[in-house]
Amino acid sequence: QHTTILLVKITIIASNSSVPQINCDVKAGKIINPEFIVKCPAGCQDPKYHVYGTDVYASYSSVCGAAVHSGVLDNSGGKILVRKVAGQSGYKGSYSNGVQSLSLPRWRESFIVLESKPKKGVTYPSALTYSSSKSPAAQAGETTKAYQRPPIPGTTAQPVTLMQLLAVTVAVATPTTLPRPSPSAASTTSIPRPQSVGHRSQEMGQEMGNWAFRSPKVLLLFPGLVPKEELSTQSLEPVSLGDPNCKIDLSFLIDGSTSIGKRRFRIQKQLLADVAQALDIGPAGPLMGVVQYGDNPATHFNLKTHTNSRDLKTAIEKITQRGGLSNVGRAISFVTKNFFSKANGNRSGAPNVVVVLVDGWPTDKVEEASRLARESGINIFFITIEGAAENEKQYVVEPNFANKAVCRTNGFYSLHVQSWFGLHKTLQPLVKRVCDTDRLACSKTCLNSADIGFVIDGSSSVGTGNFRTVLQFVTNLTKEFEISDTDTRIGAVQYTYEQRLEFGFDKYSSKPDILNAIKRVGYWSGGTSTGAAINFALEQLFKKSKPNKRKLMILITDGRSYDDVRIPAMAAHLKGVITYAIGVAWAAQEELEVIATHPARDHSFFVDEFDNLYQYVPRIIQNICTEFNSQPRN
């Protein structure tokens, strides 16, 4: 049995122009014409009109949204020329002209948007041909025309108008819909939920019925009218890759203690489901896992178990309460040691975030466990519900526990609600904060997590002028880092035959103070004992480095060392000090490679003149960050 696929052609009767007008939500894939001019309305910059790709767009994109993204139109609308091109193996998202386009692995058809300058001798259609009856142009004053694809060999297909199709008897009087929840039972948060194919088909039938003759009967599905690709909408629609503006690795620590009760536990799960929907979970955006705590913590699912909001919400619904005490500190330690690993889906460069929900107060201490978590680069948020009453405070193990747990006590990392029935109010502020990656101050990055010791050659061959150039090089590198007592710290040693500690890691805790201290370093003059200088730096600088800090030594020299550098360099490597060796003028290349951490090509550099040192600042910073991001978290 063959099914004839029909297409409906919509003729738009425009009052003043032969250029068809379309709405912002019209996708290029719904229009059959290979090349056409259309007029877009104002307001298509709205993020609800999804765009996929950059310059070349997947046909699943909003035509007018793509026009704004490409810069051909602004948000006031106007005329554009659209040309269909072949499908691409991948589409890269980008932010342009107020529109954030999304990435897509592949799509069957593409298009480009050009200014509406018609080619000479080319006639553009004054009516667009759509691939289904659900045409956005179906409005009052429009007319329909029959359109038919070439018939399949061996079959006979006659033109059928839309009105004839709607006259087909449909054995369904009214569409079946779920009852709406009463206002009292409805969630106060309005989060859009994905719809099933059946719902989309029903919605389409309703729209067609209203359009044609306002009949109470609706056409639910008609294979001759709806193209094959429309019937399989669910499988062809691109699965969201996630919001790239909120690329975080998120763990929820939920309270499963006995005291919380079943009703409150359900309220807690509803918040998680709402967060999962609001975040737009996906591999290019946020990923989320859940750990439940009681007596002992247990992971329900990790970061890579569910990679879209729909699956994640389904999994959250299946979580059951474990019971027990409220050992939050033990749970935080568990997450620090076990959750954020590569095997569990942790991604380099994505901030690690833990959101802890606590009913009342914990039954163990959280301060020390939270400190270790923060020093491992984890941003901890606390949501506390129904704190201890005055007569209950004697039972609280650790007063003011939330402020002791978070890395900033300015209210950014902690939220409190007086009642479980107000928990939904935390949704919007929580989502906004966890996605504000610029303010996630506890995240450890290549720029805020190191103790950096500069070992500077002050020998006679350098000279006063060149020594000032070396100090400027040190300044330029230092400016790239986030300086504070809890972020990156800077120390400096100058050496000749002897060594001098200019300042240690704990001397200055702000960038202005560090830069002024570098400027004040005086030129010493003397011989060149680089091996002894490395040993001195290990004892006087790095021995006092914090255990959670990455240790970086940046050595700058202009000549061959008078003493052996092999044993001191090996000692530095064994102590976990990552060493960069920068040689100038008469420095020995083979000596630099011995000093530098392996592989030497990434950690040793040579310039022929002091004035060229500045050129290596970006490359050194890039190498430091590349190496940091390739290593597991502390």
Same domain, 416 and 458: no
Nearest to 592 by CA among 622, 616, 621: 616
Same domain, 363 and 498: no
What is the structure's pLDDT at 306? Answer: 93
Angle at 84 between CA 80 and CA 86, to 5 degrees: 150
Rounded to whole angstroms, how far apart are CA atoms 355 and 352? 10
pTM of the entire structure? 0.42
Nearest to 492 by CA among 542, 432, 431: 542
CA distances from 380 to 16, 245, 297, 318, 402 (A): 60, 20, 17, 25, 10
Same domain, 261 and 365: yes
Reported in sequence order, the residue ranges of 498-587 that DSSP labels E, i.e. its strands, are 499-503, 550-557, 577-584
Kindly give, in sequence order, each residue whose CB lies less than 8 Å from that of residue 282, ignoring residues fewer than 6 positions away. Answer: 239, 240, 241, 242, 243, 307, 308
What is the structure's pLDDT at 176? Answer: 35
Same domain, 312 and 383: yes
Rounded to whole angstroms, how far apart are CA atoms 307 and 82? 34
Question: Of 437, 456, 474, which closes a domain?
Answer: 437
What is the structure's pLDDT at 132? Answer: 58
What is the structure's pLDDT at 44? Answer: 94
The pLDDT tens digits for 505-543 are 999 989 999 999 999 999 999 999 999 999 999 999 999
In a domain, 569, yes or no: yes
Supply the mean pLDDT for the chain: 80
What is the count of structural domains for the chain? 3
Same domain, 465 and 384: no
Confidence of residue 415 (pLDDT cuts 50, 70, 90): very high
Confidence of residue 387 (pLDDT cuts 50, 70, 90): confident
Q: Tally Cβ neighbours within 10 Å of residue 149.
A: 13
Contact yes or no for 521/492 (Cβ under 8 A): yes
Confidence of residue 15 (pLDDT cuts 50, 70, 90): very low
């738009």: which residue's tokens?
12
| Whether the predicted pLDDT of 634 surpasses 80 | no
Contact yes or no for 35/114 (Cβ under 8 A): no
Q: Give the residue, 107 or 415, on which the prediction is more confident.
A: 415
Same domain, 481 and 371: no
Between strands 78-86 and 143-148, the pairing is unpaired
Question: Which CATH number do you get for residue 46?
Answer: 2.170.130.20
Between strands 287-293 and 249-255, the pairing is parallel
The full DSSP string for 117-148 is -PPTTPPPPSSEEESSS--TT--TT-EEEEEE
| Whether the predicted pLDDT of 22 surpasses 70 | yes
């080319």: which residue's tokens?
122
Q: Give the residue, 231 or 432, on which the prediction is more confident.
A: 432
Rounded to whole angstroms, how far apart are CA atoms 404 and 71? 49
Helix (H, G, I), strand (E, B), or coil: what is residue 206? Answer: helix
In a domain, 367, yes or no: yes
What average pLDDT does the segment 131-160 reach?
Answer: 40
Confidence of residue 426 (pLDDT cuts 50, 70, 90): very high
The pLDDT tens digits for 289-329 are 999 999 999 999 999 999 999 999 999 999 999 999 999 99
What is the structure's pLDDT at 238? Answer: 56
Kindly give, in sequence order, each residue whose CB lies less than 8 Å from that of residue 123, ignoring residues fewer than 6 positions away. Answer: none
| Domain residue limits at 69 | 26-113
In a domain, 150, yes or no: no
The pLDDT tens digits for 453-469 are 999 999 999 999 999 99
Contact yes or no for 357/255 (Cβ under 8 A): yes
In a domain, 501, yes or no: yes
Range of lowest pLDDT (210-219, 284-293, 431-440): 210-219
What is the structure's pLDDT at 351? Answer: 87
Element of type H or E holding 606: strand 604-607
The pLDDT tens digits for 51-101 are 999 999 999 999 999 999 999 999 999 999 999 998 887 888 888 888 888
| Whether the predicted pLDDT of 386 surpasses 60 | yes
What is the structure's pLDDT at 441? Answer: 62
Range of lowest pLDDT (32-36, 170-174, 470-474): 170-174
| Whether the predicted pLDDT of 260 surpasses 70 | yes
The pLDDT tens digits for 221-231 are 333 333 343 33
What is the structure's pLDDT at 629? Answer: 63
In a domain, 241, yes or no: no
What is the structure's pLDDT at 160? Answer: 38
| Whether the predicted pLDDT of 164 surpasses 70 | no
In a domain, 225, yes or no: no
| Percent of the chain at pLDDT exceeding 70 | 77
Q: Which residues of 564-580 are buried (b: 16+ CB within 10 A; e: fewer)?
A: ebeebbeebeeeebbbb
Contact yes or no for 41/21 (Cβ under 8 A): yes
Contact yes or no for 521/494 (Cβ under 8 A): yes
What is the structure's pLDDT at 443? Answer: 61
| Percent of the chain at pLDDT exceeding 90 | 54
> Which two tokens mark 543?
């021995």
CA distances from 339 to 137, 283, 354, 420 (A): 51, 17, 10, 27
> Which two tokens mark 30?
């719904």
What is the structure's pLDDT at 180? Answer: 35
Question: Of 437, 469, 491, which closes a domain?
Answer: 437
What is the structure's pLDDT at 436? Answer: 87
- In one letter, which amino acid is 381? F
Same domain, 544 and 512: yes
Between the two ends of the chain, the Cα-to-Cα distance in Å is: 64
Question: Of 89, 113, 137, which closes a domain?
Answer: 113
| Whether the predicted pLDDT of 572 surpasses 50 | yes
Same domain, 487 and 412: no
Same domain, 432 and 462: no
| Whether the predicted pLDDT of 159 surpasses 70 | no
What is the structure's pLDDT at 554? Answer: 98
> Which two tokens mark 113?
């948007």
| Whether the predicted pLDDT of 544 surpasses 80 | yes
In a domain, 129, yes or no: no
Strands of the 6-11 sheet, one edge to the other: 128-130, 6-11, 143-148
């310039």: which residue's tokens?
607
Angle between helices 617-630 and 464-479 (to 10 degrees): 40
Same domain, 284 and 361: yes
Same domain, 432 and 459: no
What is the structure's pLDDT at 389? Answer: 79
């490679």: which residue's tokens?
593
| Whether the predicted pLDDT of 213 surpasses 60 | no
Question: Which CATH number do you get for residue 486?
Answer: 3.40.50.410
Same domain, 453 and 413: no
In a domain, 207, yes or no: no
